[in-house]
Amino acid sequence: MDKIKIRGGKQLNGEIFISGAKNAALPLICASLLTDETVTLTNMPILSDIKSMNLLLEQLGTKIDAFDDFVDGHPTKTYSYRTQELTSIAAPYDYVRKMRASYYVLGPLLARAGKVELSLPGGCAIGTRPMDIHLAAMEEMGAKIDIRNGYVYGEVEGRLKGAHIVFRNVSVGATCNVLMAAVLADGITVLENAAKEPEIGDLINLLNDMGAKISGIGTSILTIEGVEKLHGARHKVIPDRIEAGSYAVAAAITGGKIELINAQPNTLKTPMQILQKMGVDVSPTERGILVDASNKKIIGEDIITEPFPGFPTDLQAQFMSLLTVAEGAGMVTETIFENRFMHVPELMRMGANINVHGHASAIVRGVKKLSGAPVMATDLRASFALVLAGLAAEGETIVNRVYHLDRGYEKLEDKLRGVGADIERIKEAEEE
Ligand code: UD1
């Protein structure tokens, strides 16, 4: 397994191009299953999660063409997806276990084929993560759902039916699945307590371009008027707000100044407000967002994760790294996932002062300096938090289990090296 080696203490300055959003791209890929025409997605990030989703779709009968492309002079990928005919309706365990987001085939397969076999994803490092909200919604739309041998078997006679669905709590994944199921349903679906994440807006825009009739974008009540058929479309994936937020912290934690090219300020209001409260200058520019922490003292601040537009749980670990070197203390409260402090013991091995209270909150008291250490994390964002700590630490940090980072951060070492970090990837073969 590859490792990342960082020699900390370098101030990071320059610009970083923000790639297309992984969490937008994954449901967009699955939306292509809803038509027999071609759906083309541009500004796609080059990530292992995208490769995994592509493999799953190929297994369902999708023909995929990949093209090298450019967005604002930066190399990206464009993919065309065409599913003339579904050759399978199954998402087997081997796919789902590698990537939970495989559950995005649930809605499209039920809508198009009236049938689905989906391995249940089970828990993961950050919590139990059940699928009950997705499945209850499919049942309300007329599907028969049966769970056996670790699989969900779903079936519907004829078309799914429009329904009035109220989520018991906000779920990004279930909102996407309901949207993708309801667009081809018979009648009108009203979804209350829907998630409002920008990635959902991106999905709605693609679906509407394919001929769907969805209103309420950006609000918690979505109305979907079912249509009989959808057609092909071409769509540019939105920039990744979590990648942008992560590199914003890289600027802050090294006392540097980085312009995040293509970052969208309206998708990052809460985390940028927190950064400002912590003493960092953050301002929108013509090309994105400028984060300037040069000659600034980082001050402790409380953070609470919430559904959008609140502070994203996917930036909690990275901001905690920043708090470890702040002046004063900050309390971090995690309200979305029940086990998302796996990075804490690793940060403490680097000299951080953190006190976890139960599962939901942690007090972080800033220390003068972290010191480099070999570390590893059990999930994507926690792994990036350790990279950030390594950038600020004295000495050398080795981050193990790099495959987590490759799931969600495109060209991480190149991007960080481009702003002055001393960072390299050690390939497995190069290790002694
Ligand atoms: C998505 C994101 C993930 C992000 C999360 C919250 C993708 C691929 N992943 O995950 O990066 O951290 O949103 O912003 O986009 N829940 C249930 N039952 C369900 C569904 C969810 O109890 O049927 C719970 C979850 O366990 C969690 C909470 O609801 O506690 C929110 O989860 P959800 O918004 O569904 O997260 P994902 O869509 O899995």
Tens of pLDDT, residues 367-399: 999 999 999 988 899 999 999 999 999 999 999
Tens of pLDDT, residues 112-163: 999 999 999 866 676 777 899 999 999 999 999 999 999 999 999 999 999 9
Q: Where are the beta strands (DSSP E) in 358-421?
A: 361-365, 374-375, 396-399
> How far apart (Å, rounded) are the C-alpha atoms in residues 355 and 352?
10
* pLDDT given at position 430: 53
| Residue 144 parent element (H or E) | strand 144-148
> How far apart (Å, rounded) are the C-alpha atoms in residues 87 and 6?
46
Q: Is the pLDDT of residue 326 over 70?
A: yes
Supply the residue whose CA is at minimum distance from atom 29 of ligand 1: 171
- 3-class secondary structure for 119-135? ECCCCECCECCCCHHHH
Pocket test for ligand 1, best of 128, 166, 172, 267 (most atoms within 8 A of CB): 172
pLDDT band at 431 (very low <50, low <70, confident <90, very high): very low
Pocket test for ligand 1, best of 50, 120, 129, 313 (most atoms within 8 A of CB): 129
High-pLDDT (> 90) share of the chain, %: 90
Q: 190: CA distance to ligand 1 center in Å?
A: 20
> How far apart (Å, rounded) are the C-alpha atoms in residues 406 and 360?
27
* pLDDT given at position 123: 63
Q: 175: CA distance to ligand 1 center in Å?
A: 10
* pLDDT given at position 177: 98
Rounded-to-10 torsion of CA 242, 247, 248, 253? 130
Supply the residue whose CA is at minimum distance from atom 32 of ligand 1: 171
Supply the residue whose CA is at minimum distance from atom 11 of ligand 1: 314
| Residue 214 parent element (H or E) | strand 213-215
Per the listing, tokens 């964002």 go with: 381
Average pLDDT over the chain reads: 95
High-pLDDT (> 70) share of the chain, %: 98
pLDDT band at 20 (very low <50, low <70, confident <90, very high): very high
* pLDDT given at position 427: 87
Cα-flanking dihedrals φ and ψ of residue 222, to 5°?
A: -110, 135
Q: Is the pLDDT of residue 402 over 60?
A: yes
Tens of pLDDT, residues 159-180: 999 999 999 999 999 999 999 9
Cα-flanking dihedrals φ and ψ of residue 231, to 5°?
A: -120, 180
Q: Is the pLDDT of residue 191 over 70?
A: yes
What is the set of active-site residues?
A: 124
Could you tell me the CA-to-CA distances from 38 to 58, 200, 233, 373 in Å, in that order?
14, 21, 7, 48
Q: What residues are in contact with ligand 1 under a 6 Å CB criterion? A: 23, 26, 101, 127, 129-134, 169, 171-174, 195, 313-314, 336-337
Q: What is the mean pLDDT of residues 62-66?
A: 98
pLDDT band at 432 (very low <50, low <70, confident <90, very high): very low
pLDDT band at 73 (very low <50, low <70, confident <90, very high): confident
* pLDDT given at position 403: 87
* pLDDT given at position 98: 87
Q: Is the pLDDT of residue 13 over 50?
A: yes
Q: In what order do the strands lie in the sheet with 188-192?
A: 164-166, 188-192, 221-225, 213-215
Tens of pLDDT, residues 24-38: 999 999 999 999 999
